[in-house]
A and B are shown apart, each in its own frame.
Chain A
């Protein structure tokens, strides 16, 4: 469309986007991670594998996640001593708008995103082998429960409390599952997508500025 080649999106982004389909394995994994992937899939055949930008992601069923974590800690070839991160992403269910560029002029159309779910990601890191990968599990966003990882990694204690506080995911077997950041009597789980940002309108010299989530830009 433009005669200016600098305006084009780099090609590699388009290729990788094509490669990111559920269950597809993109080809950017390093050899070390590829061997690791094979080893883990051998031990847990129900794992799905994803690769994106050189990162390995293994999707485990929710009831198996603590076992996978324990295997990753104990198996000598994997030996992930550190649980680097435990974080959640909330994918809303029902009819969702498909986000294209908002100013194209095409009508926004919606598609059914299925039931809402919360994705729980465990980032595992090995000091001895120097590899890092992600184990992912999905739970339902309406009363989702998953086994705790505190028996495997003690650092999961605070991280799971934070995940419970912000997303409402219940970690069964956690010794002390209560709110961490929000006040104890807070209602709602703030970082869910159906929880509003809670900003106020700002008034200044007769003009008003809407809160950040309602502004156009």
Chain B
């Protein structure tokens, strides 16, 4: 478009999505959720040497209602799991989760009765940062990539909190996630789930329960 070349200075053209994405990623406040060793590295990342406040993120909000980002830093034990879920539910939308360290991502080296094998069993995770513990630079790399992801997010309709998936589909006309290409884990050879689902509107017993795909 030729309009951009002829604008006086001080005027910026963008799309609503990009503007909102920039706003959301601009100053993402983390919730204090340090559990174990990774918490110390997270504190180091927020301290002076590896400064997180260059992203506007040095204010770790104690109250989850004021936080946008939950950095699950450390091993999540079976006793702590309901607390994690509770805190995640208390955070206001939009919210994102970084699972910092291998213990939060997959249970880490503690493959036993006491540790939840990955915090994604409890809450949806946007960015996994491996390491034991990850260096502050690695955590910042994860945060920067999360910023990119947030900026690229499309404005979509999401299910409301008290709405079931059926009501959501009726309201928006969403046909379901595109599962034909998604590999089904753990067995990649199994037929994809989509081929087994009834077509919307022609089902006898209603839509199958499925997990909410993408956020």
Q: Do chains A and B touch in the complex (CB under 8 A)?
A: yes
Q: Are B111 and A212 in contact (CB under 8 A)?
A: yes
Instruction: Assess whether A202 is interfacial by the CB under 8 Å rule.
Output: yes
Q: Are A203 and B117 in contact (CB under 8 A)?
A: no
**Inter-chain contact B113/A196, CB cutoff 8 Å:** yes
What are the residues of chain A within 8 A of B112 when measuring CB–CB? Answer: 197-199, 211-212
Is the Cβ of B186 less than 8 Å from the Cβ of A203?
yes
Instruction: Tell me which residues across on chain B come within 8 A of A206, comparing CB atoms.
Output: 188
Question: How extensive is the interface on chain B, given as a class?
Answer: 10 to 19
Which of under 10, 10 to 19, 20 to 34, or 35 or more describes the interface residues of A?
Answer: 10 to 19
For the residues of A in contact with B, the DSSP-based class is: loop
Chain B, residues 78-97, CB within 8 Å of chain A (1/0): the string is 11000000000000000000
A181 to B113, CA, bound (A): 12
Cβ of B79: which chain A residues have Cβ within 8 Å of it?
181-183
A200 in contact with B117 given A211-B111, A212-B111 (CB within 8 Å)? yes
* B 101-154 contacts with A by CB, 8 A: 107, 111-114, 117
Q: Which of chain A's residues have a CB closer than 8 A to the CB of B114? A: 182, 190, 198
Q: Which residue of B lies closest to A203 (CB)?
A: B186
A212 to B112, CA, bound (A): 9
Contact with B along A189-207 (1 / 0, CB 8 A): 0100001111110110010
Please name the residue on chain A nearest to B186 by beta carbon.
A203
Report the nearest B residue to A209, measured CB to CB. B111
Closest approach, in angstroms, between the C-beta of B188 and any C-beta of chain A? 8
Q: Would you call the interface of chain B mostly helix, strand, loop, or mixed?
A: loop
CA of A195 to CA of B117 in the docked complex: distance in angstroms?
19
A37 to B: closest C-beta gap in Å: 39
Collect the chain A residues with CB atoms within 8 Å of residue B78's CB: 182-183, 186
- With A and B bound together, what is the CA distance between A191 and B188 in angstroms? 37
State in angstroms the CA–CA spacing of A171 and B112 once bound together. Answer: 27
Q: Are B113 and A190 in contact (CB under 8 A)?
A: yes
Instruction: Evaluate contact between A197 and B113: CB separation under 8 angstroms.
Output: yes
Q: A198: nearest residue on chain B (CB-CB)?
A: B113
Please report the C-alpha to C-alpha distance between residue A137 and residue B114 in the assembled complex, in whole angstroms: 28
Q: Least Cβ distance of B183 to chain A in Å?
A: 11
- Report the separation of the CA atoms of residues A182 and B111 in the bound assembly, to the nearest whole angstrom: 16
Residues of B within 8 A of A195 (CB): 113
Which residues of chain B are within 8 angstroms of A202 by Cβ–Cβ distance?
A: 111
Q: Can you report 18 residue pairs joining A to B where beta carbons are below 8 Å apart?
A: A182-B79, A182-B114, A183-B79, A186-B78, A190-B113, A195-B113, A196-B113, A197-B111, A197-B112, A198-B112, A198-B113, A198-B114, A199-B112, A200-B107, A200-B117, A211-B112, A212-B111, A212-B112
| 15 more A-B residue pairs beyond the given contacts A183-B78, A183-B79, A198-B112, with a C-beta to C-beta distance below 8 A | A182-B78, A182-B114, A196-B113, A198-B113, A198-B114, A199-B111, A199-B112, A199-B113, A200-B107, A200-B111, A200-B117, A203-B186, A211-B111, A211-B112, A212-B111
- Closest 10 interchain pairs by CB? A198-B113, A199-B111, A183-B79, A197-B112, A198-B112, A199-B112, A211-B111, A203-B186, A200-B117, A190-B113
